[in-house]
Amino acid sequence: MSVIVWTYILVGLSFSLYIGIAIWARASSTKEFYIAGKGVHPLANGLATAADWMSAASFLGMAGLISFKGYNSSVYLMGWTGGYVLLALLLAPYLRKFGKFTTPDFIGDRYYSQFGRLVAVVCAIFISFTYVAGQMRGVGIVFSRFLEVPITQGVIIGMVIVLFYAVLGGMKGITYTQVAQYCVLIFAFTLPAIFISIQMTGSFFPQIGLGSQVVNGNGEYLLDKLDGLVEELGFLSYTELSGSKLNFFFITLALMCGTAGLPHVIVRFFTVPKVKDARTSAFYALFFIAILYTTAPAIAAFARVNLIETINNKEYKTTPEWFKGYENSDLVAWVDKNKDGVIQMKTKKGLKNNAAFTGKPDFIPLEFKDGKEIKDKSRGANNERLLNNKPTDNANEIYIDKDIIVLASPAMAKLPNWVIALVAAGGLAAALSTAAGLLLVISTSISHDLIKKCINPDISEKKELLFARLAATAAVVVAGYFGIHPPGYVAEVVAYAFGLAASSFFPAIVLGIFYKRMNKEGAISGMICGLLFTGTFIVLGKEITLNVTGVSTQAIGSFGMILNFVISLIVCHLTPPPPQEIQDLVEDIRVPKGSGDAVEH
């Protein structure tokens, strides 16, 4: 059977599973809609958190990033997992003990201020929207690649599915679909990795294969072989850190604290019955995330070796089918600079710009007449696709989109078609699960934090639930719009969501728990300053940030966070301490006893 038939079968099966679960787990009260009635088993919550966390970017993008950046990509691996240590040790148990519905709930109550709540709501909505736009785009891209439908249509299919189970099931529906989605995505991610690891190194576990000797390589280790290959081609060493350590340090810190401050992750710890369960499910969550995050570096290294061996110094005409397939979907490009018909993938040592041409590939569109391709304008002498881009003067002739590393790995390793289709189902599971979690945060922020807590406290439960569902619907439509018409900087904006979360929520929550004296004046001014500082540098852009602070924009969240802490502490000591009942509240959340009786409101 062909890849496309397999894809339809596997995607169809997994989607029916999600919809079935959504119907079984539909929410009947606001408590079920917001936090699944606080009845989620820690193991299920761990699985759901892992699926919630791992987006299309983790599933498709990360291994590609590692593959091209080598050791320097470790910032993402560490940043996106190390944040869970902060979450487990500093936030999750206490927020569960606090026992309300949302992050703005905590900020509003702990800092006894409606204004603080409002600031938190705006932060939560803004962070979640920037994040969700990227996810919808991811859904569209996966659909378009595997089911050969236009991206717009793919986004719409994704919207309908998410709409269905997020609006119907709320947190309860989302939690159990995420459990299923985790199983699909982890199976889809690890299975090809295991096959490839056995093929290349003979060991079953990719994590061990990465550090093993290659099969038939006279005892040569895989990583040494890879270092040899990339250095011979003039690229930087794969296994060594290159660039500024300071920058590295602060990007990692910003990603870690941002991870711990993301509202859609925090809210997952409100759904378990007890404080003890919040701790346990943080462990499960990171354990399940770690399975994917330790496999990704192996996939990355295997793919880089495979890629170089299949493509470099080979005649274009002899390249495998998948290579030309990705060329047709704009993900691979080749410019035959020296007109020899052979693909050269190399650069000069120490050269900063290794790109074969300037900018993203701008292909001359393929033309069809009577179902046949007309090739006179769009194809070159070797039948390769031609581009409008200006070639650079280095020797590199090839462009490869990083997303194809995971997608093309099974094809590169010549695995059967159903494995390739499985990867498609996994990518969709990853994108949908994250999108649903984010949409829920947005809808809760509107119906609970804004309408119930700020505008109309007397609203009936039934009406609030209706508003929650309406808000979720509106959020899906807006997210879908951004998915179809993405602002050019979507991918970057997603990365900046971490900086914003690190410089707003993280310090406010940590201080709220660990520093009893922290008052509303301190926390709110800290949040606003942190947010403005980070936001300003993000808007000003890369160049100015680097010149003023000496670090890249991704690292700026660390400085925003430090500024937030400093301002909070200074302002707090110039203003009166918080009232006694707030200090009692802080005492209370520090001790697990008594969280069984959930706070109704």
Partner 1 sequence: MSEEQINEEKKSADELKAAYWRENLIIVGVLLFFWFAISFGCSIIFVDQLNTIRIGGYKLGFWFGQQGSIIGFVFIIFIYTRLMNKLDKKYGFEEAE
Residues that bind partner 1 (CB under 8 A): 66, 71, 74, 77-78, 81-82, 84-86, 88-90, 93, 207, 210-213, 221-224, 239-241, 245, 248-249, 252-253, 256, 274-276, 279-280, 282-283, 286-287, 290, 293-294, 297, 587, 590-596
* Six-digit token string for 534: 């980070």
Closest approach, Cβ 123 to partner 1, in A, equals: 25
Amino acid found at 1: M
Phi, psi of 595 (to 5 degrees): -90, -10
- Which residue reads 């390249």 in tokens? 319
Q: Which is nearer to partner 1, 87 or 311 (CB)?
A: 87
Q: How far is the CB of 373 from partner 1 (least distance, A)?
A: 43
Q: Distance between CA 547 and CA 338 in Å, rounded?
A: 38
Q: CB neighbours of 15 closer than 8 A, spacing ≥ 6?
A: 161
Closest contact distance (angstroms) between CB of 61 and partner 1 is: 16
* Of residues 388 and 583, the one with the C-beta less far from partner 1: 583
**In terms of Cα–Cα distance, which of 381, 389, 380 is closest to 356?**
389
Nearer to partner 1, 17 or 241 (CB): 241
Residue 240 CB, shortest distance to partner 1, in Å, is: 7
Tell me, what DSSP letter sits at residue 342?
Answer: B
Q: Cα separation of 251 and 496, whole Å?
A: 11
- What sign has the CA pseudo-torsion 283, 284, 289, 292? positive
Angstrom distance (rounded) from CA 468 to CA 19: 20
**Closer residue to partner 1, CB minimum distance, 23 or 599:** 599
Q: Toward partner 1, which CB reaches closer, 118 or 236?
A: 236
Q: Which 3 state secondary structure label does DSSP give 400?
A: strand
Q: Which is nearer to partner 1, 49 or 396 (CB)?
A: 49
Q: Residue 381 carries which DSSP code?
A: T
Residues 6+ apart with CB under 8 A from 589: 94, 95, 97, 98, 513
The distance of closest approach from Cβ of residue 499 to partner 1 in the complex, given in angstroms and rounded to an integer, is: 18
Cβ closer to partner 1: 282 or 475?
282
Q: CB 452 → partner 1: shortest distance, Å?
A: 28
Distance CA 257, CA 561 (A): 8
Would the CA dihedral through 113, 584, 37, 498 be positive or negative? positive
Nearer to partner 1, 299 or 421 (CB): 299
Q: Which amino acid is at 571?
A: V
We find the least distance from the C-beta atom of residue 10 to partner 1, in angstroms, to be 29
